Amino acid sequence: MSEESIVMELSKPVVQYPNRTRQYVLLGIFALTMFIDVLAASAFFVFTGAVSRDLEIPFAQQSWVITSYAVTFASFLVFWGKNAELLGPKTIFCPAFFCVGVLSLVISFITNRYAFFVLRGIAGVAAAALVPTAYRLIGIAFPLEKRSKAYTLYGMTGSIANVTGTIIAGVVALIPRDQGVQMVEWRWFFRIVAVLAIVLTLTFRIAGALISFWIIPKDAKPDGINRQTWKRLDVPGLVMLQCAIILFITGLTLGASYGWGRATFLAPFLIAIVLFPLFFWRESRIPYDNALIPSALWRLPNFLVLVLLSLLTLGWWSVMFLPFIETFHDVHGETYLLSALRTLPIGVSAGFISVVLVLYPSIIARPKWPIVISLTLSSVAYVLFTQAPSVVGKTYWSYLLPGMLIGSAGMQVVLLSTNVGLVLAAPPEMSGLVGAVYQTGLQTSSVIALSIQAGLLTTFEGGIQNLKNLRASFYFELGWTVLWLIGFTLLYRSSKEPHRSKTLDGEGKENLEVPLHV
C-alpha cells in the first residue's frame, strides 16, 4: 500500500457505535413505534364496519376508511426517506411521532366522514416519517455484522402487530355502544393510540439527552438546511413520484368501488402508468447526489427483484384478514374479539419463524431457495382456502388453520428475507431511503390486493355472505402468488461467491466492502 493510500485510510473518520445496551434500547423504541404504526392500520380490518355506520359512509366509499391512510402513507415514504438522509433522522422522528398522537386524538372526535378521510390522510403522512428514519437510525447505531439481526427484529414487529392489532381492536370492540356517539369503540381506539404516541414522544423528549442524543453517534449529525439541501431533495422528482403513487392507489380504490371500466379508474390509473417511467427516466439523467432514488441502486445485485417481490407480501396477509374477520362476524354472528382470535395462528406462525430467523440468520443468508420454498407454502395455503366448504366448524380446523400456519410462516420468511436483503445490499447512509422504497412496495401491495378483492367480492350476488365471492378473491391471490413464485425463480440470480455490501461514490459507482450474502 502506498504512503498516500495509508494517509487517506487513516484520515477516514472512525465511527463510534453505541454499546450493546444502548443499541437495543434504541431498537426497542423503533420497534414500539412500528408496532403503533401498524396497529393503527390493522385495527381497521375490525373497525371498518363500525366507522362506516357511525359516519354514514356509503358502501361504495367504505374502502376509503383504510385507503385514506394507506395512500398518503405509501406516497410519502420516499419523501421522508430522502429527508432522513439530508436532514438527519433525529430531526424528523420525534415530531412525526407526536403528530401521529395529536391527529389520532382529533380523529377520535370527528363526526363528518370527509373530515375523517382528510385527517386520516394527514396522519398517514406523519406515520410515514417513522419508518425510513428508523431504518436510517438502525444503520447508524449498529455495525454491519449486527444489522441483519437488528433489521430482522424490527421487521418482525410489523407482521406481529398486524395480527395483534386485530385482537386489540376486538377487545376494544367489547365497549358498549349505548353510552353516546363519542363513546363508541373505534373512538376509544384512536384515543389509546393518541395517549401512547404522545406520552412516548414526551418521554423521548424529556429524556432526550439520555436516549436520542446519548445513543446516536454524533458524527451522524447533518450540516443543516441550505440551498444545496433543497437541490438534493429533488423536488420535481418528488412531486412526480408522489403524484404517480397517489393516482395509482386512488385509481385502484375507485375502480373497486365504482367499476373498472369507468373514467374514475382509467384516468388516474393511466396517468400514473405514464408518470412512473418518466420519473425513473428523469432519475437516470440527474447527478447521483441529487437523485431522489439514484439509478445506481437498481444496479445492485437482485435489488430490483426484491423490490418487486414486496408488491406481493403485505397484500397476501390483507386478503386473508379482512374477509375472514367480516365473515366470522357478519355472517356467523361471532364477536369481533372471537373473529380476531380465529386469525391468531397467522401471527403465532409469523412470530415463531421470526424468532427462528433471529437465532439462525444463516437460513436466509442465501435467500433464493428459502424464498422459493416459502412462496410455494404460501400458495398451498390459498389452495386450502379455495377448497374449504365453509369457514367455521370442522372446516376451520382442517382447512383454514393449516393454511394460516404454513402460509403465514412462508410469507414471513419472504418478508424478512427481502427486508434484510435490500437494506444490507445498499450503502448504510441510504438505508432510510431503501427502507422507504421497500415499505412503499409493501403498502402498495396491500392496496392492490384489497382493491381487486373488493371487486371480486361482488362477482356473485350476496357479497360477503356468498362463499363463492370469497373463493373468487382467494383464487386471484393464489394466481398472484404463483406468478411471483415463477417470476422470482427465473429472475433472481444467485452468486457462487457472497456479494459484498456496497458504498456508492459520488458518481453512483460501487465500492466493495464487507462480504455479505444477498
Flag whether 210 is in a domain.
yes
Kindly state the average pLDDT of the residues 318-333: 88
Q: What pLDDT shows up at residue 226?
A: 57
Residue 516's pLDDT is 35
Q: Which of 213-222, 334-343, 507-516 has the highest average model confidence (pLDDT)?
A: 334-343
Residue 75 pLDDT: 86
C-alpha cell at 71: 395512500
Judge whether residue 217 has pLDDT over 60.
no
Grid cell locating 383: 389452495
pLDDT score, position 278: 93
What is the distance in angstroms between the CA of the first residue and the CA of the last residue of the chain?
A: 30
242/311 same-domain check: no
The DSSP secondary-structure symbol of 389 reads S
Can you tell me the distance from the alpha carbon of 97 to that of 447, in angstroms, rounded to the nearest whole number? 24
SS (H, E, C) 96-136: HHHHHHHHHHHHCCCCCHHHHHHHHHHHHHHHHCHHHHHHH
Which of 261, 285, 309 is where one domain is finished? 285
Question: At 174, is the secondary structure helix, strand, or coil?
Answer: coil
Domain that holds residue 479: 18-220+286-515
Residue 216 has pLDDT above 50, yes or no: no
Residues 79 and 62 in one domain: yes
Residues 119, 205: one domain?
yes
SS3 216: coil
| Cell output for 86 | 439530508
Q: Which stretch of 43-47, 96-100, 245-249, 420-424 has the lowest confidence by average pLDDT?
A: 420-424
b or e along 393-402 (b: 16 or more beta carbons within 10 Å of the residue's beta carbon)?
eeebeebbee
**Residue 44: its pLDDT value, please?**
85
On whether residue 452 sits in a domain, the answer given is yes
262 with 344, same domain: the answer is no
For residues 518 and 242, the model is more confident at: 242
As a whole number, mean pLDDT of residues 358-379 equals 91
pLDDT, residue 120, reads 93
Across all residues in the chain, what is the average pLDDT?
82
Do 278 and 337 have their domain in common?
A: no
Size of the chain, expressed as the number of residues it contains: 518
315 in the same domain as 170: yes
23-27, 103-107, 325-329, 426-430: which is most confident: 103-107
The enclosing domain of 51 has a CATH number of 1.20.1250.20
Residue 227 pLDDT? 60
User: What average pLDDT does the segment 348-365 reach?
Assistant: 88
**What is the pTM assigned to this prediction?**
0.81
Kindly report the CA angle at 199 between 314 and 347, in degrees rounded to 5? Answer: 25
User: Shortest CA distance to 92 belongs to which of 128, 133, 131, 124?
Assistant: 133
Max mean pLDDT among 53-67, 188-202, 379-393 falls in: 379-393
Whether residue 274 is contained in a domain is answered as yes
Tell me if 155 sits within 8 A of 420, measured CB to CB. Answer: yes
Chain segment 430-457, per-residue pLDDT in tens = 777 788 888 888 888 888 888 888 888 8
Q: What confidence score (pLDDT) does residue 230 get?
A: 62
pLDDT score recorded for residue 131: 84
Q: Whole-angstrom Cα distance, residue 323 to residue 465?
A: 10
Burial code (b: 16+ CB inside 10 Å, e: under 16) for 103-121 equals: bbbebbebeebeebbebbb
Instruction: Give the pLDDT of residue 207.
Output: 56
Q: Are residues 176 and 243 in the same domain?
A: no
The total of structural domains in the chain comes to 2
Q: Is residue 69 part of a domain?
A: yes
Mean pLDDT of 302-308: 90
pLDDT score, position 23: 81
Nearest to 206 by CA among 198, 218, 217: 198
Query: Are 199 and 271 in a shared domain?
Result: no
Residues 69 and 96 in one domain: yes
4 assigned to some structural domain = no
Structural domain contains residue 345: yes
pLDDT score for 133: 83
- The answer, yes or no, to whether residue 479 has pLDDT greater than 90, is yes
Q: Examine residue 92 and state whether it is found in any structural domain, yes or no.
A: yes
390 and 350 together in one domain: yes
User: Are 264 and 175 contained in the same domain?
Assistant: no
**pLDDT for the residue numbered 500:** 46
With cell 375507485, the residue in question is 254
Residue 498 — pLDDT band, cuts 50, 70, 90? very low
> Do both 99 and 243 map to the same domain?
no
